[in-house]
Structure 1
Amino acid sequence: MIELVWFKRDLRAADHAPLAMAAKSGPVLPLAVVESDYWKLPETSSRHYLFWRESIDDLRRQGVPLCVRIGEVTAILKALHDSHGIRRIWSHEETGNAWTYERDKSVTRWCRENSVGWKQIRQFGVLRGPTDRDRWAKQWEAFMAEPLAKLPDNITYADTTGDQLPSHEGLGLTYAPCPQRQRGGRTEGLALFESFLSSGRARHYQRAMSSPTSAAEACSRLSPHLAYGTLSMREVVQRAYSEVSALKAVPPDHQPIPPRGLNAFIARLHWHCHFIQKLESEPETEWRDLHPAFRDARTQGFGDPLFEAWANGNTGFPFVDACMRSLIATGWINFRMRAMLVAFASYHLWLDWRATGTRLAQLFTDYEPGIHWPQVQMQSGSTAINTPRLYNPVKQSHDQDPDGIFIKQWVPELSKLKGRAVHEPWTLSPLEAREQGFILDESYPAPIIDHEAAARAARERLTRIRASDGFYQHQRAIYLKHGSRKSSRHTPKQGRAWVKKKPANQLELDL
C-alpha cells in the first residue's frame, strides 16, 4: 500500500505538509497529472503550461521523483490503486476555477467509493466552510506563524513509471510568443526573492510599484511562484517578517530597505489570501456578477470590434495599448495598470468582464483564479462594495508615464512624437503631423471611442443600476460576506454611510 501525494499548484518540497506527513506513514508516490481537458479551457495558455512544466522539472531536480501521468485524474487513480494499492491521498487544498472544483468533487466520490482517504491540508490563509470575516485576519496571522513543514531525513518512494511531459503543442495549446515571460521553478523563485530583499529592489517598493516604468524592477515578482506554489506563502511571510525585525535593529540611515516598504509588501500578502477567500466562499464569483443588479448589464465580449481592439492593444489610446502590449510580451504588469485595463474595458467600452477576464487570464503568467475573478469583478464594479474607478486613459498616461518612455517602448509607432502628442496623437494639427511623419489611423489607430462621452455614459448607467430596488440591501450583504475588516467593530450599519468604512487599500494588491 502507498501514500499518494498529489502535486497540484504546490510544486516544491520545502514547507510541503502533505509530503512531510505522507512520508511518515509509508512509501510515498508523488504524482503530478497533466490534465488534458484542463488545458483546453479558454483561460489557459501556453505560457501557463510552460511555467508549470519548468516547475515540474525543477521539482525533480530537488530530489522528488515525480510520477507524471497524462489524462483524467480518477482514471489515473484507479490504475495506480489497482497496481499499488492507495492507502491515502495527500494534497494541499486548492481554490481553483469551476473546472478544478468539479474535478475535486469527482475525486472525493472516487475516494469514498474505493475506501481511500483523502487528506487535504491548507496551503494559504484561506478557510474552508463557514468563515467569520471579523476573525479572519487573526486566523491568517496564526496560520502564517506556524512552523514550516520539514521532511524526514529519509523518504521511501514507491517505484512506478510515468509518462513523458508533453509539449504545449501536444496539449493543443497554441504558442503565443511571450519573450520576457518569467521562468518557473523554485530555483527561480528563490533567486527572485533574494534579489528583492538583498539587492535593494525592495528599497523603493512602496513608491515605485504603481508606475509601469519602475514596477517591474521594484516589485518582488513572486506572484507566479505563489500561484504555482514553487514558494510557500508561509515561508515568504516568515522571511519578510524576519527581515523587518532585522532592519529595525539597524539605525535608519543605515537601513538598506525601509521597514515600511517590507510592511507594505506583507500587507499585500494578506490581500493575496483575502481575495482567494472570496472565491473559496462563493465559487460563482468566476462566472456570475456578485450583485444581482449588474447581471445582464453587460453583454458585449469576444468578437466585438471594441473587445478585439482592447485585447490586442489597438484602442488608439497610447497608454492603454502600451499596457496591453507589455502584458502580451512579458506575461506581467503591475496592479494599478491591471486595474486600469479592466476598468477601461468595463466602463468606457462597457464590455462583459467574463470575456475581458478570460483574455487577461490567458496573458497573466501568474493567473491565480482566486485572485483573478474577484479582482476582475471588483474593478468592473459588479461587486458593488467598492467605489467605481473610471480611470481616465489620457490622465493616467500623463500621470504614470509623463515622458512617454513606457509608451514609446511598447508602441513604437509613436516613438518619434514629442510632448503631449505621445499621449494624445489625435491632437496633432495636420502641419505638426506632417513634420513628425505621422498619419493618424495609418501610423497608429484613431481612438475607438470618445473617452469623455463614454465615461459620462458609464456613470449614467451606474446611477440607474444603483437606483434599482434593493440595491443597497444586496450591497450590504455582499460586504458582510466578503468585505475585509479586522474586527466586528468594522461591520457596517444599515444605509449608505458604511461604504466610507472600507479599507483605503482595497485596490492596492501588488506582489
Structure 2
Amino acid sequence: MGNQLVWFKKDLRVTDHAPLSLAAQAGPCLCLYVFEPELIFAPDFDSSHAEFIRQSLFDLKQALENRGGVLLIQTGRMPEVLDALHQRYGFEALWSHEETGNDLSYARDLRVADWVKQKGLRWTELPQTGVVRRLKSRDRWAAHWEKRMSHDVIPPPNRLVPVPGLQASSTIPTLADLGLPPHSKPAMQSGGELAAQDTLRSFLTQRGQNYQKGMSSPVTAGEECSRLSPYLTWGNVSVRQVYQATLHQIQTVSAGPKGPESLQWLRSLRSFNKRLHWHCHFMQKLEDEPGIDFENMNRAFDGLRDPEPDKDLLAAWIQGQTGYPLVDACMRALHQQGWINFRMRAMLASFSAYHLWLHWREPAVQLARHFLDFEPGIHYSQFQMQSGVTGINTIRIYSPIKQAKEQDPTGAFIRQFVPELADLPNEFIHEPHTLPPLLALSYGFQPGVHYPLPVVDHATAYRQAKERIFEWKRRPEVRQMAQTVYEKHGSRQRPTRPLSAKRSESPRS
C-alpha cells in the first residue's frame, strides 16, 4: 500500500471525516494543513479566522497523535506545497473534502486538479455537507440532502500509520509567524472539535429550549441560539453530526414526560432542524453559480446601485457610528465577538442596502471579515437576498427603530455595546436624537456630540428605497430573469411564482 496524503481544509476534525478514514485504510498517511497566503491575506479574511483555525489545529493535532498520526503544517501556495511533498514522500493519492468556497479557493482547487492530472495521481474529493456537485436540477435536492444526512456518522480511525520519515507533528504557527496582526475580538468563540461537541451538547440539552422564541432578539440569542455556526464553517463538526444529534434529541424528548416544557423543546428543536437544511440550501447556490460572490444573482438588477460605495456612509456603518443605536450595537458586538444572530444580520444588510443604498458587494466583504462563521455560499446569497437583487425573494426593508423597540425594548443590548447611551432613559434609548434639550442637559448628553445624529432620515430613506426597488422589480427583464434564477436556485418548498404574488413583496417596516 502506497503513501496517502490527507489534505485538511475547512474540515478540522477526525470524527465523520471520510477522507481521513478511507486514506487510513489505504496506506500510511501524511496529514496536511496549509496556511495559504492568497487566502489569509484576502479581503474577506481576518486574523480572528486564523486564530480560530489555530485553536482548531491544536485539537486536530492532538487527536491525530493519539492515534499514531502526525500533522504536517505548511505555509505556501497550492499546488506548489503538494509538489514539494510529493518529491519527498512520493504519495500516490490525494484525499480531501469538497469545498464550496470563495473565488480564490475555487481557482486553487482548479490548479490542484491540473497538477494531480499532470502527475498521474488520484484525487478523491468527498462531500461533507448537503451540497451536491454538478447538480442538474433543484427538483430533487431535498431528497439528496436527506439521503446524505441519514448515512452513519463515520468514527475516527482507530490507528493511523504516518508516512516513513515523518517523525513529529509541526509546530502551529502564531499569527505573527503568519504575518497577520493580532486579532481584535476578545469575546470570540474558541475553535476546535472538543469545543464544537461541548457547544452542541449544551444547546441540545440545556440552552436550546427557548430557541424558537429567543433567536430573534440579540438580548437572548447569544445564549439560546446554537452558536454552532463557526464550528460548521471550519469543519469542527459536520452537518450530519448535528442533524443526527438533533433528531436523537427530538426522539428523546418525544419519548419523555409530556408537558409545556417538552412541547417548547420540540418546537425549538424542529425549528433548528429546518435551519440545517437552509444552511446547505444556500451553499448550493454558490456551488451551482460560482460568480454570485461578485455578480448580482439576477443580472437584470445590474445598475440598480453604484458598485462604488459612498465611503463615508460605509465607514459609519462598519464602525457602528450611524446614529441608529441597534444598528451600531450590532456592529460593535461583531467587532468584539465575531457573531450576531440572524435577524440582526438581516437588519444590518437591509440598512446598508436600503437606508444607505449601498451596493451589496463591499458591505458583504466587510462583514465577512467580522463573521467568525463566514461561509461564502451562505453569506453572499443572503446579502443578495437582503439587498433585493435576486428577484425571487420577499423584499424586507427593516426599520432599525422598530426592530430596536421590539427586539431590545429596555435597551439592554444597546447599553452593553453603545456605552455612551447607557444612562439614557428607556423611552429615548432607541432614538437618542429625539431627546429634548433640557432633558439631554440633565443627563449630560448632547446628540451629535456624544453620539452621532442619524446619517440618514429613516422615513425619507425608506420611502426612496421602496420606490426604487419596486420600480425596478416591475421591469419585464427583471421578472423574466427572476424565473431563470428560480429554476436554478429557488427552494422547491414553495409555489413556482417568484414575482406574481404581490402580498409577498410588502416591505417590513
TM-score range, shorter chain: over 0.9
Q: For residues 445 and 152 of structure 2, what CA distance do their matches in structure 1 show?
A: 61
Q: For residues 438 and 300 of structure 1, what CA distance do their matches in structure 2 show?
A: 37
Aligned counterpart in structure 2 of residue 82 of structure 1, from 83, 87, 98: 87
Query: Do structure 1's residue 186 and structure 2's residue 183 form an aligned pair?
Result: no
Q: For residues 147 and 210 of structure 2, what CA distance do their matches in structure 1 show?
A: 29
Contact 1:17/1:150 (8 A) holds in 2: no
Counterpart secondary structure, 1:62: helix
Q: For residues 335 and 94 of structure 1, what CA distance do their matches in structure 2 show?
A: 23
Contact 1:215/1:334 (8 A) holds in 2: yes
Matched residue type, 1:295: D
Aligned counterpart in structure 1 of residue 462 of structure 2, from 455, 477, 493: 455
Q: For residues 136 and 285 of structure 1, what CA distance do their matches in structure 2 show?
A: 20
Matched residue type, 1:149: I
Q: 1:419 Cα shift?
A: 2.6
* 2:265 aligned partner: 258
Q: 1:500 Cα shift?
A: 6.9
Counterpart secondary structure, 1:24: helix
Q: For residues 309 and 199 of structure 2, what CA distance do their matches in structure 1 show?
A: 36
Matched residue type, 2:240: R
Matched residue type, 1:410: F
Contact 2:39/2:104 (8 A) holds in 1: yes
Q: 1:171 Cα shift?
A: 3.0
Q: For residues 194 and 151 of structure 1, what CA distance do their matches in structure 2 show?
A: 19
Q: 1:138 Cα shift?
A: 1.4
* 1:389 aligned partner: 396
* 2:254 aligned partner: 248
Q: For residues 39 and 496 of structure 1, what CA distance do their matches in structure 2 show?
A: 40
Counterpart secondary structure, 1:170: coil
Between stretches 170-179 and 468-477, larger displacement belongs to 170-179
Matched residue type, 1:497: S
* 1:61 aligned partner: 62
Q: For residues 490 and 222 of structure 2, what CA distance do their matches in structure 1 show?
A: 29
What does 1:192-211 align with in structure 2 at a 5 Å threshold? 192-198=199-205, 200-211=206-217
Residue-by-residue CA offset, 1:29-82 (whole Å, 9 max, x unaligned): 111001012111011000000000110111111135211111012111111111
Counterpart secondary structure, 1:72: coil
Residue-by-residue CA offset, 1:469-499 (whole Å, 9 max, x unaligned): 322111111111111124xxx5525x84368
Residue-by-residue CA offset, 1:283-317 (whole Å, 9 max, x unaligned): 11100001123213222656610000000000001
Q: 1:209 Cα shift?
A: 0.4
Distance verdict in 2 for CA 1:384–1:124, change over 3 Å: same
Distance verdict in 2 for CA 1:333–1:119, change over 3 Å: same
Query: Do structure 1's residue 492 and structure 2's residue 492 form an aligned pair?
Result: no
Q: 1:131 Cα shift?
A: 3.3
Q: 1:2 Cα shift?
A: 1.0
Matched residue type, 2:62: R
Q: For residues 249 and 88 of structure 2, what CA distance do their matches in structure 1 show?
A: 48
* 1:405 aligned partner: 412
Between stretches 362-371 and 288-297, larger displacement belongs to 288-297
Q: Percent identity?
A: 43
Q: 1:442 Cα shift?
A: 0.9
Query: Do structure 1's residue 477 and structure 2's residue 484 form an aligned pair?
Result: yes
TM-score by length of 2: 0.94
* 2:299 aligned partner: 292
Distance verdict in 2 for CA 1:418–1:60, change over 3 Å: same
Counterpart secondary structure, 2:386: helix
Contact 1:14/1:150 (8 A) holds in 2: yes
Q: 1:165 Cα shift?
A: 3.2
Counterpart secondary structure, 2:219: coil
Distance verdict in 2 for CA 1:138–1:389, change over 3 Å: same
Give the alignment's Cα RMSD to 1 decimal: 1.9
Matched residue type, 1:448: V
Residue-by-residue CA offset, 1:218-250 (whole Å, 9 max, x unaligned): 011010000000111111111110111111111
Query: Do structure 1's residue 219 and structure 2's residue 220 form an aligned pair?
Result: no
Q: For residues 411 and 264 of structure 2, what CA distance do their matches in structure 1 show?
A: 29
Query: Do structure 1's residue 237 and structure 2's residue 240 form an aligned pair?
Result: no
Residue-by-residue CA offset, 1:108-135 (whole Å, 9 max, x unaligned): 0000000011000010011000332121
Counterpart secondary structure, 1:278: helix
Q: 1:172 Cα shift?
A: 3.3
Query: Do structure 1's residue 134 and structure 2's residue 126 form an aligned pair?
Result: no
Query: Do structure 1's residue 173 and structure 2's residue 180 form an aligned pair?
Result: yes
Residue-by-residue CA offset, 1:387-426 (whole Å, 9 max, x unaligned): 1111011111111111111111111111111132111111
Query: Do structure 1's residue 271 and structure 2's residue 278 form an aligned pair?
Result: yes
Q: For residues 360 and 406 of structure 1, what CA distance do their matches in structure 2 show?
A: 20
Q: Which 5+ residue runs of structure 2 have no aligned equivalent?
A: none
Q: Which 5+ residue runs of structure 1 have no aligned equivalent?
A: none
* 1:35 aligned partner: 36
Aligned counterpart in structure 2 of residue 115 of structure 1, from 106, 111, 120: 120
Q: 1:168 Cα shift?
A: 2.0
Q: For residues 274 and 503 of structure 2, what CA distance do their matches in structure 1 show?
A: 20
* 1:106 aligned partner: 111
* 1:3 aligned partner: 4
Contact 2:390/2:485 (8 A) holds in 1: yes
TM-score by length of 1: 0.94
Contact 2:64/2:160 (8 A) holds in 1: no
Distance verdict in 2 for CA 1:425–1:301, change over 3 Å: farther
Residue-by-residue CA offset, 1:433-485 (whole Å, 9 max, x unaligned): 11111111111111111111011111121123123232211111111111112
Distance verdict in 2 for CA 1:217–1:425, change over 3 Å: same
